Structure 1
Amino acid sequence: MESLLCDEIWLEKEEELKNDVENSCFFKSKEDCEEAFEILLDKEISYMPKIGYVKFIKENCFIENARFKAIHWLIKSQRRWNLSFGAVFGAASYLDQFISLNKCQGWKYWMFELLSIACLSVASKFHETSPPQLLELQMEGVGHLFESTMIQRMELTLLETLGWRLNSTTPYSYIELFQWSINSLKTVNDLLLRILLDAKFLEFRPCVIAQSVVTCISEDLSLLIDDSCFNNFTRLIPQDQKDDISKCQRMMINKQFLINEFQELIITSGVFNYGPPSPVTVLTMDQHDLCDIPQGDFNYISNANKRKRER
């Protein structure tokens, strides 16, 4: 009984400690906030796509469309599995970095689908304590059901391409840093997700996007910023980025268009259910070169087999 009583007291104190942590700020001072902010600023450029990526995307309608569909699937998956926003923004960052490095010229739609699954799988393992299984990730919104071994090989290719650097700095990284100071956090996150769909915002640094989103919502929705650290957000951003903030905010004036575009996409049919399926179950050497995936058999289950397995 004495041992049992001690356990009960310990568990009760542990629960109180957990609540105290959740209700308190991680950073105890303005200096701590600013130091963390500067760390994000220092490393954000190294996680951005290569220079010229936005132009490349806009000049390749096929890749632009495939990227849009992939990002939309990531957003739907985040809501379906209740993943953290860090996971979906991380996955999107991996996707853009990979495309900017590999170009993906000549890819088929199913290859982008495989890449997006691998990105979300890696991101969820990095950000979540209980990430979804590979089969679970494919239960909705994808045109093909890939074998686990094929996804794992794509994950390895992704990791090698990114240099095994997964702690990407994204616009959400800054929002997460100051999230306790934002009264309308859901509104901020929703707008960030809508902006994520539009490749043209990738020309801005993550800190610029985060600042612009908060400013736009503050002006339009009377968002209250309570934390003194976040009030100094603009002051901490490098001077050479101040003009970009104004430009980014002007682009976000049309955010109602982004909202309508986002909502229209949600009510349309699923993702990646367009274009011809892959004609083979094993990649040819040409396809292997395009994918830059380690050699071997890459089997996936067709749409028909996928429907049978789901039933």
Structure 2
Amino acid sequence: MAPSYDCAASILLCAEDNNSILGFVDGDQENHEMGSLGEIDCLGPGWILGKSRGLHGNFFMDFPLQSEECIAHDLQRELDHMPMGDYAERLLKGELDASIRRDAIDWIWKVHAYFNFGPLSAYLSVNYLDRFLSVYEIPEGNAWMTQLLSVACLSLASKMEETLIPLLLDLQQVGEAKFLFEARTVQRMELLVLSTLKFRMQAVTPFSFVDYFLHKFSDGSGPKKFLILQSADLILTMIKGIDFLEFKPSELAAAAALTVLEEFQSIETENAFATCVYLEKDRVLNCYEMIQNKVRMRLSATKISDSLVSFVPDSPIAVLEAPCLSHTTEETSIFSDPNGDSRSPISKRRRISR
């Protein structure tokens, strides 16, 4: 969806190794209050999604698909922008406090929706959060530090990808804020995040690949915007869950593309993956099947409930996007709220053949 930096160097307006990446100078408190990058306007992967368009707005722009060379380059780089390899396992085993991640993501999502930020800043916020938590453990009982980290991650992501950035004080006053931090305090936390992540802020994301895979899995036909939109929504739902942390951005994008396309056509995976030689077929199918399992568990929960509501999910994406999504380690499923309708047409949907 978005050109790689090396493959489209002409659009680069900032470098990750620039010491002034935040645009701060001594005494420039007012600039920081505005959450500004000064004169810097960073274009990261996924810039095709546009700026400040919201999760469901018209944020797509018409650009040609990336070349095979650019896709291959992004695939090589994506591992550099993922959490440590044992991060998901430590969360699932309880070695790390999963409630820290859950509370941070909940707050990020509320603020993100309130200010109508774009999908890429949502993904980057969670990406920064996970990468930081995978190497820097927050002591128990420090809720204020979790809140400060959440503010810093969302602030950095919005500076990277949004055009209109609220004051840091306004950013913190959405919902019931338990803690409010001065701009200088948030700035210090931002610098800690930046140094911990080695200033690698322009992460390769699933949005760098999703339209490419929609194109490849559709026999070369151009991806429709509503398919890209549904894939983006599904990706944002997936990254909330701990189970999906093991997958690379390209694998999340490919699994999302398969799930969305399956709603409209049958897919022969041998043909689909034959055109995507860079992908590990088994891992993508594992991710795809994990999505289907979550949908089935969610629908099974509705059958157990005696108090069904009238809402009928019209697709697995709608089921996954239901507000009952949970990302705690104690639950056997990421779906915990039984309110739903078991009459969903899940049993009639076409299955992807291996």
**Of 74, 99, 106, which residue of structure 1 is paired with 2:140?**
106
Query: Could you say which residue in structure 1 is the equivalent of 2:242?
Result: 199
Contact 2:172-2:180 within 8 A present in 1 as well: yes
Residues 45-83 of structure 1: CA deviation (Å, up to 9, x unaligned): 010111111011112377212212222322222221121
In 2, distance between residues paired with 1:234 and 1:120? 38
- The more displaced of 53-62 and 156-165 is 53-62
Residues 252-308 of structure 1: CA deviation (Å, up to 9, x unaligned): 003433946841369xxxxxxxxxxxxxxxxxxxxxxxxxxxxxxxxxxxxxxxxxx
Shift of 1:33: 2.9
Query: Could you say which residue in structure 1 is the equivalent of 2:169?
Result: 135
Q: Give the aligned residue type for 1:204.
A: F
Contact 2:90-2:96 within 8 A present in 1 as well: no
> How do residues 2-81 of structure 1 correspond to structure 2 at under 5 angstroms?
25-27=62-64, 32-60=66-94, 63-81=97-115
Residues 217-247 of structure 1: CA deviation (Å, up to 9, x unaligned): 211x21799xxxxx977733535x2211111
Aligned with 1:264: secondary structure?
coil
Change (3 A) 1:60 1:129: same
Change (3 A) 1:122 1:233: farther
Change (3 A) 1:185 1:238: closer
Query: Could you say which residue in structure 1 is the equivalent of 2:264?
Result: 222
Change (3 A) 1:131 1:194: same
Query: Could you say which residue in structure 2 is the equivalent of 1:213?
Result: 256
Query: Could you say which residue in structure 2 is the equivalent of 1:86?
Result: 120
Aligned with 2:63: secondary structure?
coil
Query: Could you say which residue in structure 1 is the equivalent of 2:185?
Result: 150
In 2, distance between residues paired with 1:23 and 1:197? 23
Shift of 1:36: 2.5
Q: Does 1:238 align with 2:298?
A: no
Query: Could you say which residue in structure 2 is the equivalent of 1:252?
Result: 291
Contact 1:86-1:173 within 8 A present in 2 as well: no
Contact 1:207-1:237 within 8 A present in 2 as well: no
TM-score (norm 1): 0.67
In 1, distance between residues paired with 2:322 and 2:272? 31
Structure 2 unaligned blocks of 5 or more: 1-58, 215-221, 299-316, 327-354
Shift of 1:150: 1.0
TM-score (norm 2): 0.59
Q: Does 1:181 align with 2:223?
A: yes
Contact 1:88-1:123 within 8 A present in 2 as well: yes
In 1, distance between residues paired with 2:132 and 2:168? 20
Change (3 A) 1:237 1:147: farther
Aligned with 2:134: secondary structure?
helix
In 2, distance between residues paired with 1:149 and 1:186? 37
How high is the sequence identity, in percent, across the aligned residues? 32
Residues 143-188 of structure 1: CA deviation (Å, up to 9, x unaligned): 2111211111100100111111100112233236678723333322
Shift of 1:194: 1.4
* Coordinate RMSD, CA, aligned: 3.0
In 2, distance between residues paired with 1:24 and 1:96? 29
In 2, distance between residues paired with 1:45 and 1:232? 24
Query: Could you say which residue in structure 1 is the equivalent of 2:306?
Result: none
Higher RCO (CA < 8 A, seq sep 6+): 1
Query: Could you say which residue in structure 1 is the equivalent of 2:324?
Result: 264
Aligned with 1:83: secondary structure?
coil
In 1, distance between residues paired with 2:257 and 2:203? 20
Q: Give the aligned residue type for 1:164.
A: F
**Of 190, 196, 199, which residue of structure 2 is paired with 1:164?**
199
Contact 1:71-1:92 within 8 A present in 2 as well: yes
Greater Rg by CA: 1
Contact 1:71-1:196 within 8 A present in 2 as well: no
**Structure with higher helix content:** 1
Contact 1:171-1:209 within 8 A present in 2 as well: yes
Change (3 A) 1:178 1:246: closer
In 1, distance between residues paired with 2:187 and 2:265? 43
Shift of 1:107: 5.6
